[in-house]
Structure 1
């Protein structure tokens, strides 16, 4: 549960209009205007890198140097995923049809991740970030994110939860595979629209991807190529999204926060300059992105001073940290959450020894 005691009392009385006033300032500054030139350049660079990576793969042939290509393509795949993210939020174009078609191309066909499934999941996350009951990104299926979840954890989550801070990055090596499997599982859901098209594009990705790998590489090297590629892809994506909310306060049904506070208090920004902006696809401005999901990526940096100053006016804590510190905070939180599981296990073992 989030502690709202530090929020200014006067601001709390005016919650209904707080975000509206900020939105007007952002709109007046032109920060919600489309940036077609930026996205044309970004799409062009990512497409060139993708084509160059596969060209290098074909040119190298049966070589152990292909593992370097696998690592390179993993980074490019993650950048394609970040492009799909921007498309889903209509940062690139206000057209639903264009955004959806481009999202299917980038998500389903190029990287093998269901655009429709991910968009549904991510929309629910944005509506209720870090909410234990409504945010699918803090579902305690494998990891636990709060003391309440730790207390009620069962099965895999309870086993892993004991030492989840140490297992977090190793588990991310499986995230790429998990995204592919989750995409295919989602095809069974009636509420997923355009299931036939999504299934066709996902299948085309798998057939083309595996066909290319094993047409060029023998079985052993091919399997190792896939393993390296998918592992680094998963770690990169996990490292892109983990700094944003992990270790920040979680919400429950007892918390009653307006939109502005719900988004700001559960998110953190990550500073680091242009290199971090590129590596994280602009998601290091997570507070601004959650407040204005359709804001084009290059405008997030410009919006940050405005949002930070506005939060200061209202007495709302605005959290920003460095990249390494963001991971440290997330891991410390995960380790602290797992303490009750470790204590329970130790108590159980001690009880068993006394009985013997």
Structure 2
């Protein structure tokens, strides 16, 4: 996956195929696929502490997110802490707290323009990593700092902002400045290639993660209130079964490409286990859920999951779910 990302970058910077424009565009598209592969197959497991039994290896590989423009502290808070603890709970799970143009939960405010979100959502999905690499990390770390969520990560807000700035400077230095200087292409082609890379990565990642939770059969529970704090009402494991969906469980190729995230249920239940074991865990979890009369949501194909997600966007847009 690292080669998939850096080989086309090296070809661009080395001015290989400068006179062959389709190859230039293809390199950026392949780099977008490399971002997806690095994120799902390496960074995701590493920052869950599941890539290796050696903690130092996980910490080292977790920093690969900084190499592709992100900030691992933010990711751990949003994903490990908020998403995995409060899956599909509006106001707590930041994965469903998107821009106002997207309504990803029946508990969110409905506006008339949401009627068309099943058509335009895909464009905003494409912009996901582009927004992440520019403004999101700064906005998010400030928000996390105000909520005292940086404390457990042992970093102050000022230090986090400084680190993000250094990481972004390094990222834009090699991914934009070097191609601008050495690719032999006009600056506007390089900028267009950069956008194409992120459109590829953003749309692909959204098509992996959104059908895992934003589905017609998924639960979107209200949190319980106790002592001024919000928490999930039922058993955490049952909550994860009700809010997560597997897809294409028989596709070994897809499982390899996206780091086993098509086995979203197993991932949510066993975050500290490497994704290469999800396939064997799946039938055990499925049988146990059936034994106890619990839900186990699964779509046979990736395409079927995407279609169901699109249908969910349409239902949410029509305000037909409550």
Q: What is the TM-score normalised by the length of structure 1?
A: 0.76
Q: Which has the higher helix share?
A: 1
The alignment of Structure 1 onto Structure 2 pairs a total of residues equal to 288
Q: Using the TM superposition, give the Cα deviation of residue 238 of structure 1 relative to its aligned residue in structure 2, in angstroms.
A: 0.9
SS at match of 2:268: helix
Question: Structure 2 vs 1, CA of residues 332 and 166 (structure 1 numbering), >3 Å: closer, same or farther?
Answer: same
The answer for unaligned runs of 5 or more in structure 1 is: 1-45, 342-356
Aligned to 1:27: none
Q: What is the TM-score normalised by the length of structure 2?
A: 0.83
Alignment partner of 2:251 out of 255, 261, 273 = 273
1:1-356 aligned within 5 A: 46-57=1-12, 58=14, 59-61=16-18, 63-65=20-22, 66-82=24-40, 83-104=42-63, 106-109=64-67, 111-123=68-80, 124-142=82-100, 143-149=102-108, 152-153=109-110, 158=111, 160-180=113-133, 181-188=135-142, 190=145, 191=150, 193=155, 195=160, 196-215=162-181, 216=183, 217-247=185-215, 248-253=218-223, 256-271=233-248, 272-321=250-299, 322-340=301-319
State whether residues 160 and 167 of structure 1, in contact with CA within 8 Å, keep that contact through their aligned partners in structure 2: no
Q: Using the TM superposition, give the Cα deviation of residue 198 of structure 1 relative to its aligned residue in structure 2, in angstroms.
A: 3.9
SS at match of 1:91: coil
Q: Deviations over 1:13-57 (max 9, x none)?
A: xxxxxxxxxxxxxxxxxxxxxxxxxxxxxxxxx233333222332
State whether residues 88 and 105 of structure 2, in contact with CA within 8 Å, keep that contact through their aligned partners in structure 1: no
Tell me the distance in 1 between the aligned counterparts of 2:194 and 2:177. 12
CA RMSD between the two structures: 2.0
Question: Structure 2 vs 1, CA of residues 209 and 160 (structure 1 numbering), >3 Å: closer, same or farther?
Answer: farther
Q: Deviations over 1:74-133 (max 9, x none)?
A: 0011111111111111111345444233222x1112x10111111110021000111113
Q: Deviations over 1:290-322 (max 9, x none)?
A: 000011111000100111111111011211102
Question: Structure 2 vs 1, CA of residues 84 and 259 (structure 1 numbering), >3 Å: closer, same or farther?
Answer: same
